[in-house]
Amino acid sequence: MKRIFGLFMIGVMLVSMTACAKNSAGDLPGHTTISIDKKEESIELFAMDTYMTVTAYGNQAKCALQVAETRIRQLERLWSVIDPESELYMVNHSNGVPMDVDKVTSKAISFALSMADRTAGALDPTIYPVLTSWGFTTGSYQIPSQDELDSLLQLVGYDKVLLDGQKITVPEGMQMDLGAVAKGYTADIVMSILKDQGITSALIDLGGNIQTVGYKPDGSKWRVGIKDAYGDGNIGVLTVADCAVVSSGGYERYFIGDDGQTYWHIIDPSTGKPADSGLVSATVVCKEGRLGDALSTALFVMGLQDAETQWRECGDFEMILMTQNNELYITEGLEADFALNQSHDGMPVHVIEK
Ligand code: AMP
Ligand code: MG
């Protein structure tokens, strides 16, 4: 039955893919097409546990967005950690037996493992058992005992996961969660679908994971608000084009314990406890959504100093970090494109230079 459903979905995909034709700009590489058509279309959906809005401009926009939505739903079905039909759920319940997964799943896992390596385990896609013990996966929040954390941490370690092509082996008891990278990964896929359909201007917002395609239809840059971790509004606005802007912060999901302390959903894999690095939010600006998503979570765990080192050594992203004492650190590549909101006029802003 599942197989028939799968074939049906592929059929639906093919129909919607072929029904969308490329526009003239896509068909004639090297030719300059002057388009005055700025027709705006958008879709809103709830997927991957978050509200998503994708807005695209041009004649092909409506059709392209339909293809994108179908793909988002497919990816959600593959990567949900709570749906017993999902690939990731099956991987997490495979009792250590190697399992073949879809190519896109193997690529997403491979990316997550490589980022875990790059960030020395600050990002660890095997943190799921610990996350569950805090109740972040169910909403039944609790503070686990140190003993419980110590024993659960034995089940954490991205280096114990084996990935050989599309075959994955997750040792018995261990579980994976793509929550820290899935939205960014999906945004990249949505972006390539839109571009493939000839869209040159679009804004992809997957629950605050922002990806901008080209410039706005009027040729100006997009304005992306950077959230205030301590309030409802924005601390400032970034003016960008053709890039991803991804934030991670304690404010996104947290609970207040009986002890009056705030516990948030980003866990430091070295302690099993909510990251306590001195940061309250980390925003990454870079070319690819997946990199931004993985890094923003990891930098939040690492803290200011290690984030700076990562920035200096890698050179493939810019960042804005907000600290617990309400100060802002911004890398020099963003200085000209960032403006503090009037409401945050007195906020100290430090520019990190090479
Ligand atoms: P993000 O919103 O992208 O920062 O991702 C946060 C989500 O990633 C959490 O809700 C968890 O599902 C998962 N997560 C939490 N801590 C980590 C971590 N250190 N490494 C990998 N995933 C994590
Ligand atoms: Mg992330």
246 lines ligand 1 (CB under 6 A): no
Tens of each residue's pLDDT in the chain, 354 residues: 333 334 333 333 333 343 565 543 333 333 333 444 579 999 999 999 999 999 999 999 999 999 999 999 999 999 999 999 999 999 999 999 999 999 999 999 999 999 999 999 999 999 999 999 999 988 999 999 999 999 999 999 999 999 999 999 999 999 999 999 999 999 999 999 999 999 999 999 999 899 999 999 999 999 999 999 998 899 999 999 999 999 999 998 999 999 999 999 999 999 999 999 999 999 999 999 999 999 999 999 999 999 999 999 999 999 999 999 999 999 999 999 999 999 999 999 999 999
Quick one: 194 and 276 in the same domain?
Answer: yes
Parallel, antiparallel, or unpaired: how do β-strands 273-274 and 167-169 relate?
Answer: unpaired
Distance 26 CA to ligand 1 centre (A): 37
- Number of separate domains in the chain: 2
* Domain containing residue 164: CATH number: 1.10.3980.10
Query: Do residues 202 and 43 make contact, with C-beta atoms less than 8 angstroms apart?
Result: no
Quick one: 262 and 301 in the same domain?
Answer: yes
Q: Who's near 301: CB < 8 A, 6+ residues apart?
A: 119, 122, 123, 266, 267, 268, 269, 275, 277
Among 132, 264, 266, 268, say which to mutate for ligand 1: greatest number of ligand atoms within 8 Å of CB.
Answer: 266
Quick one: 228 and 319 in the same domain?
Answer: yes
Which CA distances in Å does 203 have to 52, 86, 249, 252? 11, 28, 22, 21
Helix axis angle for 289-302 and 304-314, nearest 10°, is 140
184 lines ligand 1 (CB under 6 A): no
Which residues form the domain of 147? 87-169
* Domain containing residue 317: CATH number: 3.10.520.10
267 lines ligand 1 (CB under 6 A): yes
Assigned token pair, 227 = 């959230």
Distance 32 CA to ligand 2 centre (A): 37
Quick one: 344 and 243 in the same domain?
Answer: yes
Which ligand neighbours the alpha carbon of 178 most closely? 1
Quick one: 222 and 124 in the same domain?
Answer: no
Distance 137 CA to ligand 1 centre (A): 11
- The closest residue, in CA terms, to atom 6 on ligand 1 is 180
Query: Do residues 327 and 348 make contact, with C-beta atoms less than 8 angstroms apart?
Result: yes
Give the span between the Cα atoms of 323 and 13, in whole angstroms.
44
Give the span between the Cα atoms of 139 and 118, in whole angstroms.
31
Distance 204 CA to ligand 1 centre (A): 20
Quick one: 120 and 213 in the same domain?
Answer: no
Quick one: 208 and 332 in the same domain?
Answer: yes
- The reply to whether the predicted model has a pTM over 0.75 is yes
Quick one: 187 and 308 in the same domain?
Answer: yes
Quick one: 232 and 154 in the same domain?
Answer: no
Give the span between the Cα atoms of 73 and 43, in whole angstroms.
13
- Residue 230 included in any domain: yes
